[in-house]
Structure formats: structure tokens, C-alpha cells
Amino acid sequence: MKARLNLQEYVTGILQGDRVVLAKAITLIESTRSEDRALADRVLETVLPHTGKSLRIGITGVPGVGKSTFIEAFGKYAIEKHKKKVAVLTVDPSSSLTKGSILGDKTRMETLAKHPMAFIRPSATGEALGGIAHRTREALHLCEAAGFDFIIVETVGVGQSEVAVKNIVDFFLLLMLAGAGDELQGIKKGIMEMADAIAITKADGDNVKHAREAQAEYQHAFHVMRTDDSGWSPKVLTCSSLTMEGIDDTWNTLSDFEKRMKANGYFETRRQHQQVSWMHECFESLIKIQIEKSARTTQHSTELEQLVLRKVITPQGAAATLFQTLLTSLKNNPS
């Protein structure tokens, strides 16, 4: 098959669930070339009516928590036990093949990747965070149009990408390790409270006891925190990708969440908010691009920041000056 397809070929392939075409389409939306971007926009627009039917799941956790093995175990369970099609999109600004190899992770989700009902796609590296969220959201919609029932968005729980991902999924699952003071394990404030559920991984063998203790700890912490508007109280589970213990609990929690959020209308409301905020994010990003394009504004901005820090001008005054510069540049550059 040729490297570049036309609009019709992309659309037909995606709607038929052709994983090769789907992969090519995601490459297209990740391209920074403006003609690719134009075609990508048309592909997205055409398949849009066929999106929205999956359950979108964000999964995060620090390196070493066992994300890949968990997703592989969960994915196989969903496919084999419940006949669901599973797509996995990974977002990791810092990842590379080499790093994966260092962790002995050469066979990253290898069995799942080979399954005809699964689709696994790492994100392009080296992009800005905002960009990754944009592209991941688009890839997620392509996967939905291709008929996947579960879209898992995997991130590494060390940075800001979780916030962006939380905003594009229905359910957010945090994986944690138990034992030996591991309760803290570098999870930043804020990630825990975005979670709809925590799963303590590697709860097998001697580790089961530690996992149960950690479970009690987190349940307690969730109890102190307030639930949010959805009426959902975050769950704490234990599981093992080795013994498959607890994988069905995770599945049941997800099903329960979906059923209850659909029943009380929160599911649809949240999706609608996400769609509208997607539009406004795109709009703001267009404005930001325009602002950055204007080199004069950018340079001016740095100068003004310095004046603000030296208390020569007020932040208001600096902002007003910057705004006038932007207006002038917009008027002179018909974009």
C-alpha cells in the first residue's frame, strides 16, 4: 500500500476498522506539514459522525508500576472474556525505544499488539504537551470511528500530561505500587485526586499483604477528600497482571461507573463539556500561535516581564502595551 492515501481511502479504511489505514491516518494527524494538516482535518470531519461510542480510559502511574503489563492483562481480558475491541494510545513525552530497552521492556504489550481485536499506538515523541493532548484526542476519535470499544490513553504519572488526558477521557485510573514506603512514590499532588479509581498493582505472592495495607491507606485518603459533582466515590482496587487476580474487579468498576454515570446523565454532560472546551482550546491555541508568530510581540513580552519584575511598570500597564502591539501586528499581517 502506498504511504499516502487520499481522503476517501483514509475514511473507508478507518470505518472498515482497517488497522493499517488507522495507523497511517494517525501518522497523518501527527504530521506538522500544512498540507497533511489540511487533509487530516478533512478526514476527522468526515469520520466525526461515527465517533463517541467507546469508553475512554486514562491510565497513569510512575515508571515501574507495571502499566504495560496491566494494560496487556486488562486488554486481553476485555477481548477474550467480553469480546471488546481495545485500542491503546500511549502518551509519553520522554519515552524512546532505547529507554524502553533499558527497562528490559522490549516486548512491550507484544501479545496484545498481535491480537486482531487490539490496536496499540505510541505517540510521536518530542512534541509540546498541549500538542500531544490535541493529537491524542484526534487519534482517539479515529480509533472510535474504526469501531474500538475501549480506548486506553496511557501516560506516565510524573508531569502535566495527566491533566490534559483527564480532560479527554471518561474514566481515569491511577496505578500504584504497594510496600516499603512506596505510598509516596513520586505521584504529584493532584494526580491522585483526578483518579476515579486506584489499582494497586503486583498484588501477588508476598506482596498481597502490602497491597491490602496500601489499599486501606488510599481508601482512607479518598474518604477524607470530597467526591466531585458526578456522585462517584473513587474506588481502590488491588490486582495482579501475573495471577490476573483483580482484573475482573477493575472491569466491574469500569462497567459500574459507565452504567451509573450514563444513568444520572453525567456521562453525556461531561462529554459535551469536553467537546466544547476542545473547540475553545483550539481557538485559544490559534490565538497563541498568532501571538507567537509575531516575533515582535514575543520579544516585547520578555522585555515587559523584566520591567514588571523590576517594578518599573505594573502588570496591567505591561499587558496593555502588549495588547496594543498584538493589535498592530494583527492589522498588518492579514494572517
Residues that bind a copy of itself (CB under 8 A): 41, 44-45, 48-49, 51-52, 183-184, 186-190, 192-193, 217-218, 220-221, 223-228, 272, 275-276, 278-283, 285-287, 290, 304-305, 308-309, 311, 313-320, 322-323, 326-327, 330-331, 334-335
CB-wise, 73 or 176, nearer to a copy of itself? Answer: 176
The 3-state secondary structure of the chain, one letter per residue: CCCCCCHHHHHHHHHCCCHHHHHHHHHHHHCCCHHHHHHHHHHHHHHHHHCCCCEEEEEECCCCCCHHHHHHHHHHHHHHHHCCCEEEEEECCCCCHHHHHHCCCCCCCHHHHHCCCEEEEECCCCCCHHHHHHHHHHHHHHHHHCCCCEEEEEECCCCCHHHHHHCCCCEEEEEECCCCCCCCCCCCCCHHHHCCEEEECCCCCCHHHHHHHHHHHHHHHHHHCCCCCCCCCCEEEECCCCCCCCHHHHHHHHHHHHHHHHHCCHHHHHHHHHHHHHHHHHHHHHHHHHHHHCHHHHHHHHHHHHHHHCCCCCHHHHHHHHHHHHHHHHHHCCC
CB-wise, 83 or 226, nearer to a copy of itself? Answer: 226
Nearest-approach distance from CB 334 to a copy of itself, in angstroms: 8
Nearest-approach distance from CB 129 to a copy of itself, in angstroms: 17
Nearest-approach distance from CB 69 to a copy of itself, in angstroms: 24
CB-wise, 29 or 59, nearer to a copy of itself? Answer: 29
Nearest-approach distance from CB 326 to a copy of itself, in angstroms: 8
Nearest-approach distance from CB 90 to a copy of itself, in angstroms: 23
Nearest-approach distance from CB 335 to a copy of itself, in angstroms: 6
CB-wise, 113 or 313, nearer to a copy of itself? Answer: 313
Nearest-approach distance from CB 244 to a copy of itself, in angstroms: 28
CB-wise, 97 or 286, nearer to a copy of itself? Answer: 286
CB-wise, 98 or 335, nearer to a copy of itself? Answer: 335
CB-wise, 31 or 51, nearer to a copy of itself? Answer: 51
